[in-house]
Structure 1
Amino acid sequence: MTDAPVLQAVGIGVRFGGVRALDGVDLALRPGEVCGLIGPNGAGKTTLFDALSGIRRPDDGRVLLDGTDITRRSPVWRARHGMRRTFQRQQLFGQLTVADNLVVAQEWRGGGGGLAADLLAAPTRRAYERSRRERAAAVLRACGLGDIGTSYAGALPVGRARMVELARAVADPPRVLLLDEPASGMTDSESGHLLSVIRHLTVEERCAVLLVEHNVAFVMELCTRVVVLDLGHVLAEGTPAEVRADPKVTDAYLGTAPTR
């Protein structure tokens, strides 16, 4: 039996003055799925992320989490209920260490599941802080960052900073993860490791991932389903092979005939 969607966009429309950035966009994301969202610049990808994460309230349509309408809920509420997001521009706390970036991400005791229980079980604040440090260290090791926990985040090269952003987003385990160009600035080796980490999140932790990425090869290798936006509309949707072979997608975005 197919899992019910954990996150849905239903008829989402966003206008900037007289310009329709999104017009009737539908999207469903299921637990354990990696869905790629691609399209040319200006297609509406980041605007859709803003609407899903609560940064921008859509003019039309609804956002559903587990079937419940959360369109008017704040980004903080959504985060407390397991939604996480990264951004195109790096948003690390540059004057904090890498480890402290992950500790801060747990401070508010969000909706991932284990942290509130840790707090109730800890007899002292010191024990609770230790549990956050231990979780941060474990996530950094899983992301291949165990050797830079004491480095300042603002001094990192782009590729490693991107991976730290992912680590911080999953420090408190998410149910839904929105990744906006996570492989930007990464080497082939770094993007390969990123791919492995995302696969672990979906397969082992059943996290649902929606990915915006201009590296089409990365998207096609990682994602089980791809949605193509163009001028605020869903142009195509399907498996990577189906999308790559779609002539509408070739004309609007990929720019070359599909290869065999």
Structure 2
Amino acid sequence: MSGAPALRAEGIGVRFGGVRALDDVGITLCAGEVRGLIGPNGAGKTTLFDVLSGIRRPDAGSVRLDGVDVTRHSPVRRARHGMRRTFQRQQLFGQLTVADNLLVAQEWRGGGGGLAADLLALPARRSYERARRERAGKVLADFGLDGRGDAAAGTLPVGRARMAELARAVADPPRVLLLDEPASGTTDDERRRLASAVRRLAEDEGCAVLLVEHDVAFVMELCSRVLVLDLGRVLAEGTPAEVRADRRVRDAYLGSAPG
């Protein structure tokens, strides 16, 4: 069940010289919701992710997290509001173990808030360390990485490395999670585990998830609603069934036959 809006972008416009990469794009993402973002190459999906995460400032429009206007905030300030993002290219700390990648993700805030700050109030550092490791162990198990915590992250095969990066993104519980092609390079079994972990994150922890993925079947199965971009504009938005049935979407992206 979706809750209150966690992320709202309105009227987003981005230009690269004379090219209009995004034109009046809007999206609202609610707590506990998993929403898909699809479209052909060059549709503006990555540009929209860059705007939402603070890497790129839009030429027009606004971005709000839990009602707070963060349009001019840096990625770090947005992260302090609870936003996390993964990238198409993996960004693991390769020389650290998988478990240490997750522990680092819980430490970065220091006393600024979130899980780390709550635990720092405990009287003993030992209790803090135990709680951090318990959270890391749970997340590793959720993503099928139990037993791989002591492995150097840089030695993992592509699919496992992708899962480790996703696990790190949620080690400190996010409010909003932006996933950029998370299923890329994964096996069928890893995709199923990924889908299950994302559902639990939304349903149990109330996280709002926005997913960009070229595996349309994966998106349609996992997401409650789907937004379709084409040439920088919103082409369609609706349930997976509605999007599949939309002739404009079939012509621009899915092909001539629905289903």
Normalising to structure 2: TM-score of the pair?
0.95
AA aligned opposite 2:256: T
Aligned to 2:77: 77
Aligned to 2:24: 24
Aligned to 1:229: 229
| Residue correspondence of structure 1 range 12-51 to structure 2 within 5 A | 12-51=12-51
Task: Between 91-100 and 135-144, report the one with greater CA deviation.
Answer: 135-144
| Residue correspondence of structure 1 range 47-58 to structure 2 within 5 A | 47-58=47-58
Supply the distance in 2 between the matched residues of 1:137 and 1:84 (Cα, whole angstroms): 20
Aligned to 1:114: 115
AA aligned opposite 1:46: T
Aligned to 1:123: 124
Supply the distance in 2 between the matched residues of 1:153 and 1:114 (Cα, whole angstroms): 23
Aligned to 1:248: 248
Contact 2:2 2:32 in 1 (8 A): no
AA aligned opposite 2:212: V
Task: Give the C-alpha shift of residue 177 in structure 1.
Answer: 0.4
Contact 1:112 1:172 in 2 (8 A): no
Aligned to 1:209: 209
Task: Give the C-alpha shift of residue 81 in structure 1.
Answer: 1.2
Contact 1:82 1:112 in 2 (8 A): no
Residue 133 of structure 2 corresponds to residue 133 of structure 1: yes
AA aligned opposite 1:172: D
1:121 partner SS: coil
Supply the distance in 2 between the matched residues of 1:80 and 1:21 (Cα, whole angstroms): 28
Contact 2:106 2:115 in 1 (8 A): no
Task: Give the C-alpha shift of residue 2 in structure 1.
Answer: 6.8
Task: Give the C-alpha shift of residue 137 in structure 1.
Answer: 1.7
Q: What's the C-alpha RMSD, in Å, of the aligned pairs? A: 1.6
Supply the distance in 2 between the matched residues of 1:123 and 1:184 (Cα, whole angstroms): 41
Task: Give the C-alpha shift of residue 90 in structure 1.
Answer: 0.4
Normalising to structure 1: TM-score of the pair?
0.95
| Large movers: runs of 4+ above 4 Å | none
Task: Between 111-120 and 144-153, report the one with greater CA deviation.
Answer: 111-120
Supply the distance in 1 between the matched residues of 2:42 and 2:6 (Cα, whole angstroms): 27
Identity %: 74
Supply the distance in 2 between the matched residues of 1:134 and 1:254 (Cα, whole angstroms): 43
Task: Give the C-alpha shift of residue 92 in structure 1.
Answer: 0.5
Supply the distance in 2 between the matched residues of 1:71 and 1:8 (Cα, whole angstroms): 11
Supply the distance in 2 between the matched residues of 1:74 and 1:161 (Cα, whole angstroms): 27
Task: Give the C-alpha shift of residue 141 in structure 1.
Answer: 1.5
Supply the distance in 1 between the matched residues of 2:208 and 2:257 (Cα, whole angstroms): 31
How many residue pairs end up in the alignment? 258
Task: Give the C-alpha shift of residue 136 in structure 1.
Answer: 1.3
Task: Give the C-alpha shift of residue 112 in structure 1.
Answer: 7.0
Aligned to 1:62: 62
Q: Per the alignment, do residues 41 and 245 of structure 1 end up closer, same or farther by CA in structure 2, a change over 3 Å counting? A: same
Task: Give the C-alpha shift of residue 20 in structure 1.
Answer: 1.0
2:131 partner SS: helix
AA aligned opposite 1:247: R
Q: Per the alignment, do residues 194 and 2 of structure 1 end up closer, same or farther by CA in structure 2, a change over 3 Å counting? A: closer
Aligned to 1:156: 156
AA aligned opposite 1:115: A
Contact 1:22 1:233 in 2 (8 A): yes
Task: Give the C-alpha shift of residue 68 in structure 1.
Answer: 1.9
1:220 partner SS: helix
Q: Per the alignment, do residues 116 and 123 of structure 1 end up closer, same or farther by CA in structure 2, a change over 3 Å counting? A: same
Contact 1:32 1:205 in 2 (8 A): yes
2:11 partner SS: strand
1:182 partner SS: coil
Supply the distance in 2 between the matched residues of 1:178 and 1:149 (Cα, whole angstroms): 24
AA aligned opposite 2:121: L
Supply the distance in 1 between the matched residues of 2:166 and 2:9 (Cα, whole angstroms): 23
